[in-house]
Amino acid sequence: MKDKTKMFKIVILSSGKSRGSNFQAIAEYISNNNLNIQISFLVITNPNAPIIKRAERLGIKYYLLNKKNLQKEHLSFEEKLEILLEQHKVNLIVLAGFMRKLSSDFVYKHKKRIINIHPALLPKYGGKGMYGMRVHKAVFDAKDDYSGVSVHYVNAEYDTGKIIKQEKVCIKGLNSPEEIAEKVLKIEHRLYPEVIAELAENIIHYQDGSW
């Protein structure tokens, strides 16, 4: 039995109608490799998001931080999240399909403790409005030979935080944005859990203070 006091605790943040495939890949990687990492909880913002079914199947607790629930408690999204993070003693905040912008106060307070995954080779194809199939469509339209995956720290701007790890993939000969998305997603499912495991082991860290 794992010593729960020594667990590296993470939270997954998703928003909207999140599909949750990265969330599931992370949970499976942790369990298949018997890692000392625990997904303490999942945050969702939409009660109809498909990710809920995955959380139920995996037995992972989730919190619905939507307008209605937040208003009832007179809290902002970040205030409620802060309470949950404190209660669960979370080490790392993992964004997976989370489209909202976190407040700069929150981001500064948790600097280098929030990471995101982006389905392209940042700094290309990032920024406001660049999410989901829009990213793959832009890459396809530009007729690029390569796309990829970027895992980066989160700062107060979309997709501009320091890149932790990137992986390139050849997309020559692919015939649609959907085909690119499929190839890129497979890499996401491997790369994101690996980065989380390396952060938990303190294998990756930056000394220069930039993020």
In the sheet that holds 62-64, the strands lie side by side as 62-64, 37-44, 8-13, 92-95, 114-118, 146-153, 163-170
Per-residue contact track with ligand GRF, 119 to 148, x per CB under 6 A?
x-----------------------------
Contact status: 160 vs ligand GRF (CB under 6 A): no
Does 177 contact ligand GRF by CB under 6 A? no
Q: Does 96 bind ligand GRF (CB under 6 A)?
A: yes
Helical spans, DSSP H, in the chain: 21-32, 51-58, 67-72, 77-88, 104-109, 133-141, 177-200
Q: Closer to ligand GRF at the Cβ: 14 or 40? A: 14
Q: Which two tokens mark 123? A: 């700094």
Q: Which of residues 15-74 bind ligand GRF (CB under 6 A)?
A: 18-23
Kindly state the number of chain residues that form the binding site for ligand GRF, as judged by CB under 6 A: 12
Q: Does 117 bind ligand GRF (CB under 6 A)?
A: yes
Q: How far is the CB of 92 from ligand GRF (least distance, A)?
A: 16
Q: Is 127 left (phi over 0), alpha (psi -120 to 50) or beta?
A: left
Strands 163-170, 114-118: pairing kind:
unpaired
Binding site for ligand GRF (CB under 6 A): 18-23, 96-97, 117-119, 188
